[in-house]
């Protein structure tokens, strides 16, 4: 474990950026969901890092991190279910073919 908070923050920043890029650039819905997970984990990493370095936040950070994981799991479930439903309907996992929201 590094002695510096910056290293963790930089790592989580990089992870978040990768997640964002993935969400914006990938066309596959599954990949986009994975990118969301990546971003969530980057945020979780930040929270845990702050908790480890600031004693007052120690317990709070752990609780929040667990909460985020639970929400992320639920979100992934719902997201996957939606993607499955759309896939059955449209026969494609590619999001740029989903244009029913236009106009």
Partner 1 sequence: MFESLIPSVAPLVAAASEEAEAVSEVINLVPILLALPLAGFVFTAFFGRRIGRFAFLVPLLLVVATWVLGMVVVYEALSGGFGEHGAGITLYTWIPAGAFQVELGLFVDQLTACLLIVVTTIGMLVHLYSVGYMAHDPGRWRFFAYLNLFMFSMLLLVLGDSWLTVFAAWELVGLSSYLLIGFWYPRWSAALAAKKAFIVNRVGDVGFALGIMLIWASTGTLDIRDSFELIAGLDGTTIAVIALLVFCGAVGKSAQFPLHVWLPDAMEGPTPVSALIHAATMVNAGVYLVARANPIFALAPDVMVLVAAIGIFTAILAASIAFTQNDIKRVLAYSTLSQLGYMFAALGVGAFIAAIFHLMAHGFFKGLLFLGSGSVIHAVHEEQDMNNMGGLWRKIPITHWTMLVGTLAIAGIPPLAGFFSKDEILAESFKFGFQWVWAIGVVVAVMTAFYMWRLMGKTFYGEPSAHVRSLWDRIHESTWTMTLSLVLLAIPSLFLGMAIGLPLGDSTLKHWLEPVFEESEKMLHGEAKPFELLGIDGVLIIISVAAAALGLGVGIALFGAFRRGERRARVEALTNSSGATRFLYRASFAKWWFDDLNHLLFIVVGGRVADAMWWFDRTVVDGTVNGIGRLTIDAGRGLRRVQTGRVQNYALGIAIGLIVMIGSYLLIAAR
18, 37 contact by CB (below 8 A): no
As to burial, measured by CB atoms within 10 angstroms (0-12 exposed, 13-18 middle, 19+ buried), residue 32 is buried
Say whether residue 98 binds partner 1 (CB under 8 A). Answer: yes
73, 8 contact by CB (below 8 A): no
Q: Contact region for partner 1 (CB under 8 A) — 2-10, 23-31, 47-55, 76-84? A: 23-31
Q: Which of 23, 50, 53, 87 binds partner 1 (CB under 8 A)?
A: 23
Q: How far is the CB of 81 from partner 1 (least distance, A)?
A: 16
Q: To which residue do tokens 């439903």 refer?
A: 85
What x-and-dash track marks residues 28-57 binding partner 1 by CB under 8 A?
A: ----x-------------------------
Q: Which of 9, 18, 20, 76 binds partner 1 (CB under 8 A)?
A: 20
**H-state helical runs in 54-96:** 58-90
Compute how many residues bind partner 1; rule: CB under 8 A.
Answer: 14
């Amino acid at each position: 474990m590094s002695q510096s908070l910056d290293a963790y923050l930089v790592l989580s920043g990089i992870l978040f950026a990768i997640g964002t890029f993935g969400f914006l650039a990938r066309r596959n819905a599954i990949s986009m969901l994975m990118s969301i997970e990546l971003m969530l984990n980057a945020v979780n990493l930040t929270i845990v890092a702050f908790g480890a370095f600031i004693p007052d936040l120690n317990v709070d950070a752990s609780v929040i991190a667990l909460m985020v994981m639970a929400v992320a799991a639920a979100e992934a479930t719902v997201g996957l279910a939606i993607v499955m439903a759309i896939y059955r309907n449209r026969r494609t996992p590619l999001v740029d073919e989903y244009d029913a929201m236009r106009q």
